[in-house]
């Protein structure tokens, strides 16, 4: 039950941190237009590289290390301060490099400076600690107030394209204040460190080992927008970014299991319960498959109506981009389970690194011709290709470690149910008018059809859910 509760907390948190841009996106699309949205997307993609290099893999490494020692308060205290201090130093170095970068660019200086607050915010991000001790409630509720203030600030102060700098500052400062609000909750878990025994740099090399895959991951998360802004236009980067936001919001619900299960599996692995880690993998893989298939098909089905209603007709070019990119919902869900929930906590970091590096290389190679020919559509195709390569390679890596039959239990039943749902929506879609009511009707109909087919086909997840409900 603790895992289920933590999943719900983390799913809520992951969706909520994306809720502000989701709620404000229709407003900003109208106020800032494709150019304003594109400038924010492009400059933010550049800033993410400095945050990435300043963070040096601490999010994953810190989460895992805290999970290993959370039973010993003294060891937990030392571990937290060592990792936190190390990250502070590396973020300061990243800020210095950013200063040099700023002197070398000729445009968007004011926007880069506004975005740079996010680099400072990264130094105070200690969410990895609370994930390691499996307290997800604190990150949800502490940030709730900050995000609400952010939402109010955007609607109050951002009125036109000329307020683009203000908008970027609001987002950057919200990250900083949100991170600072987590510190009071530390007192429950840690005390004062033994300063003489602090060994900050012993964490550098193992953190860097996880930093390499994060670099690779960031390449095909951010590079698309950077290359679109450089090769095509900031508007093209904006089109891809709008699609990416919607897909990532849906993915947040699915991949929330990764953050929850990593410390859980790491703790089981540290205690020598190796068979238990495999059972966690099978159950988690089955669960995310059940979630991601209807989300993927559902988004593809409603996108032609959703985009013009949500973003306005100015962003109609987002439609094919989003329909193509929707495929990665299933692919990333699978690679998240195998990579984040199995390979990392069981200390198979090298294997995980190779998989995401392969994805980054495939993405980079694919991007150049595809973006040149098809712009934002090409970037979405490259994203799908890269995620396919990651997923297939990770399945190859674990071929001798897991049972494929247990891993893909009920997959074809989920796929069939999803296809039936999709066909129904395609039949109904032309009949219904272009309205939000129509989209809501389609979502409800699709969900009902999907669940009915799952029950008819007798998937094991239904029995598992009934058992959980009976326990409650």
Least reliable range by pLDDT among 73-82, 168-177, 274-283, 390-399: 274-283
**DSSP letters of 206-251?**
HHHHHHHHHHHHHHHHHHHHHHHHHHT-HHHHHHHHHHHHHHHHHH
| CA angle in degrees (0–180, nearest 5) for 28-103-87 | 75
- Given a cut of 90, whether residue 322 has pLDDT beyond it is yes
Average pLDDT over the chain, rounded to whole? 83
With cut-offs at 50, 70 and 90, classify the pLDDT of residue 20. Answer: low
Q: What is the pLDDT of residues 180-208, one digit of tens each?
A: 888 888 888 888 877 877 777 777 777 77
| Across 438-465, average pLDDT | 88
Q: Give the pLDDT of residue 356.
A: 83
Q: Give the pLDDT of residue 16.
A: 64
Q: Give the pLDDT of residue 300.
A: 95
Task: Note the helical H segments in 375-435.
Answer: 376-397, 404-407, 411-428
Dist CA 109 CA 327 (whole Å):
36
- Given a cut of 70, whether residue 469 has pLDDT beyond it is no
Dist CA 9 CA 134 (whole Å):
10
Q: For the chain, what percent of residues have pLDDT higher than 70? A: 85
Q: What are the tokens at 264?
A: 């859980």
| Across 346-372, average pLDDT | 86
Q: Give the pLDDT of residue 288.
A: 85
Q: What is the pLDDT of residues 216-247, one digit of tens each?
A: 666 667 778 888 888 888 888 889 988 988 88
CA 174 → CA 39, 94, 123, 157, distances in Å? 19, 20, 14, 14
Q: What are the tokens at 464?
A: 């598992």
Q: What are the tokens at 241?
A: 């970014």
Torsion of CA 439, 443, 444, 446, to 10 degrees: 130
With cut-offs at 50, 70 and 90, classify the pLDDT of residue 274. Answer: low
Dist CA 270 CA 261 (whole Å):
14
- Given a cut of 60, whether residue 432 has pLDDT beyond it is yes
Dist CA 306 CA 357 (whole Å):
34
| Across 307-315, average pLDDT | 89
Residue 430: exposed, middle, or buried by beta-carbon count in 10 A (0-12, 13-18, 19+)? Answer: exposed
Q: Give the pLDDT of residue 123.
A: 87
Higher pLDDT, 52 or 165: 165
Q: Give the pLDDT of residue 260.
A: 56
Dist CA 272 CA 93 (whole Å):
39
**DSSP letters of 78-98?**
HHHHHHHHHHHHHHHHHHHHH
Least reliable range by pLDDT among 124-138, 289-303, 398-412: 124-138
CA 235 → CA 38, 188, 212, distances in Å? 5, 47, 31
- Given a cut of 70, whether residue 268 has pLDDT beyond it is no
Dist CA 275 CA 269 (whole Å):
9
Q: Give the pLDDT of residue 325.
A: 94
- Given a cut of 60, whether residue 4 has pLDDT beyond it is no
Q: What is the pLDDT of residues 53-77, one digit of tens each?
A: 887 777 777 777 787 777 778 888 8
Q: Give the pLDDT of residue 111.
A: 94
Higher pLDDT, 135 or 398: 398
Least reliable range by pLDDT among 87-91, 112-116, 250-254, 369-373: 250-254
Dist CA 471 CA 465 (whole Å):
10
- Given a cut of 80, whether residue 275 has pLDDT beyond it is no
Residue 57 φ then ψ, to 5°? 75, 15
Calculate the CA 99 to chain-centre distance. Answer: 28
Q: Give the pLDDT of residue 43.
A: 92
Q: What is the pLDDT of residues 363-403, one digit of tens each?
A: 889 999 999 999 999 999 999 999 999 999 999 998 888 88
| Across 10-14, average pLDDT | 60
- Given a cut of 80, whether residue 467 has pLDDT beyond it is no
Q: Give the pLDDT of residue 452.
A: 93
Q: Give the pLDDT of residue 75.
A: 82
- Given a cut of 90, whether residue 307 has pLDDT beyond it is yes
Q: Give the pLDDT of residue 323.
A: 95
Residues in the chain: 472
């Amino acid at each position: 039950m603790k895992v289920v509760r933590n999943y719900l907390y983390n799913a809520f948190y992951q969706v909520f941190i994306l809720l502000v841009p989701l709620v404000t996106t229709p407003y900003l699309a109208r106020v800032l237009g494709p150019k304003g949205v594109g400038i924010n997307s492009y400059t933010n993609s550049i800033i993410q590289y400095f945050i990435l290099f300043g963070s040096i893999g601490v999010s994953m490494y810190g989460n895992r290390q805290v999970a290993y020692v959370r039973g010993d308060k003294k060891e937990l205290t030392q571990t937290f301060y060592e990792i936190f201090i190390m990250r502070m130093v590396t973020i300061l170095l990243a800020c210095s490099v950013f200063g040099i970068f700023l002197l070398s660019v000729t445009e968007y200086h004011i926007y880069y400076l506004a975005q740079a607050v996010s680099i400072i915010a990264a130094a105070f991000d200690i969410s990895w600690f609370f994930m390691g001790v499996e307290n997800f409630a604190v990150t949800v509720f502490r940030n709730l107030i900050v995000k609400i203030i952010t939402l109010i600030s955007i609607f109050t102060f951002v009125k036109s394209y000329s307020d683009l700098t203000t908008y970027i500052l609001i987002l950057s400062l919200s990250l900083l204040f949100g991170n600072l609000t987590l510190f009071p909750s530390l007192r429950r878990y840690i005390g004062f460190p033994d300063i003489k025994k602090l060994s900050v740099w012993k964490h550098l090399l193992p953190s860097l080992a996880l930093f390499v895959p994060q670099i690779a991951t960031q390449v095909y998360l951010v590079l698309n927008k950077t290359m679109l802004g450089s090769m095509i236009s900031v508007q093209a980067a904006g089109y891809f970014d709008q699609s990416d936001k919607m897909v990532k919001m849906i993915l947040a619900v699915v991949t929330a299991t990764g953050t929850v299960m990593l410390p859980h599996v790491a703790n089981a692995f540290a205690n020598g319960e190796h068979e238990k880690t495999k059972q966690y993998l099978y159950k988690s893989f089955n669960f995310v498959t059940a979630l991601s298939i209807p989300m993927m098909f559902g988004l593809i089905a409603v996108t032609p109506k959703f985009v013009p209603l949500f973003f306005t007709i100015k962003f109609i070019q987002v439609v094919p981009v989003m329909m193509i990119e929707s495929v990665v919902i299933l692919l990333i869900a699978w690679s998240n389970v195998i990579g984040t929930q199995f390979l990392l906590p069981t200390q198979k970091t090298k294997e995980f690194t190779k998989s995401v590096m392969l994805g980054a290389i495939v993405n980079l190679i694919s991007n150049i011709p595809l973006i040149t020919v098809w712009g934002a559509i090409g970037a979405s195709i490259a994203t799908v290709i890269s995620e396919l390569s990651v997923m297939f390679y990770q399945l190859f890596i674990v071929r001798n470690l897991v049972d494929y039959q247990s891993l893909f239990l009920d997959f074809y039943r989920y796929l069939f149910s999803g296809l039936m749902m999709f066909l129904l929506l395609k039949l109904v879609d032309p009949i219904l008018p272009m309205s939000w009511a129509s989209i809501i009707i389609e979502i409800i109909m699709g969900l009902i059809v999907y669940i009915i087919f799952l029950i008819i086909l007798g998937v094991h997840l239904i029995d598992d859910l009934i058992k959980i409900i009976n326990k409650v």
